[in-house]
Amino acid sequence: MKMRASCSLLPQRMTVAADQVHVWHAPLDTSPSEVAGLKETFALDELSRAARFRHATDRQRFVACRGMLREILSWYTGESPGELEFCYGPHGKPLLKVADGAHPLRFNVSHSHGLAVFAIARDREVGIDIERFQTDFAWEEIAASFFSAEEVNILHSLPVQERYEAFLIAWTCKEACAKAGGRWPFPPFGTVGSFALAG
């Protein structure tokens, strides 16, 4: 998705109803000019965070992700991307800042290897997670450490060739739930998608 190019195709304002979650996705490896344009909307703390990345690719992806987040949120709030102000929850979750109380628009972001996903909801917390499909790490040990005994048993009851995908679905659901601020553990199997709502 080319954010700036697609902007003109979108309605001037987007609305998310209380029973909806909007999910956007975008590649983060965009052109240097696109990245420079997105960076113009940044607050000082975001500029300083961008400057701390050692590797140019990581820096550009961070700028692309945060810049696209600002742009997407602006479609919903009606403010320009640069006018939006973020604050952070006790565990670092970014939230939209408003003068009094919590902003009704809630969002969450996940990024992995050059792809970002953005979840937008209203009046309740939302969490989203993506992970790259890669089997060359000790995912069974992670399952043994973080999943309940029942969940591990379910995993082992599956045909071997299906286990990794089941692990990944469960893991992203758990992460999404944790990022929403929901309860842990989150039922992994039979849950479709990798975003979660709380509240």
In terms of DSSP H, where are the helices of the chain? 3-7, 32-39, 44-51, 56-77, 139-146, 149-157, 160-180
At 178, give phi and psi (nearest 5°). -60, -40
How many residues bind ligand COA (CB under 6 A)? The answer is 18
At closest approach, how far in Å is the CB of 8 from ligand COA?
Answer: 26
The C-alpha atoms of residue 199 and residue 191 are separated, in whole angstroms, by 18
Q: Is residue 65 a contact point for ligand COA (CB under 6 A)?
A: yes
CB 107 → ligand COA: shortest distance, Å?
Answer: 8
* CA gap 175, 196 in Å, rounded: 9
Cis peptide before 185 (omega within 30 of 0): yes
Closer to ligand COA by Cβ: residue 3 or 65 = 65
In the complex, minimum distance from the CB of residue 192 to ligand COA, in angstroms, rounded to a whole number: 18
We find the least distance from the C-beta atom of residue 180 to ligand COA, in angstroms, to be 7
Nearer to ligand COA, 74 or 110 (CB): 110
Site for ligand COA in 150-189 (CB under 6 A): 174-175, 178-179
The distance of closest approach from Cβ of residue 19 to ligand COA in the complex, given in angstroms and rounded to an integer, is: 22
Among 4, 93, 103, 124, binds ligand COA (CB under 6 A): 93
- Residues 5-44 as x/- pattern, contact with ligand COA by CB under 6 A: ----------------------------------------
Give the interface segment with ligand COA, choosing from 26-34, 76-84, 91-99, 187-195 (CB under 6 A). 91-99
C-alpha angle 152-155-157 in degrees, rounded to nearest 5: 110
**DSSP track, 87-124:** EE-TT--EEE--SSS--SEEEEEEEETTEEEEEEEESS
Q: Give the Cα separation of 126 and 124 in Å (integer).
A: 7
What distance separates the 2 farthest-apart alpha carbons in the chain? 53
Give residues in contact with ligand COA (CB under 6 A): 62, 65-66, 91-94, 108-111, 127, 129, 146, 174-175, 178-179
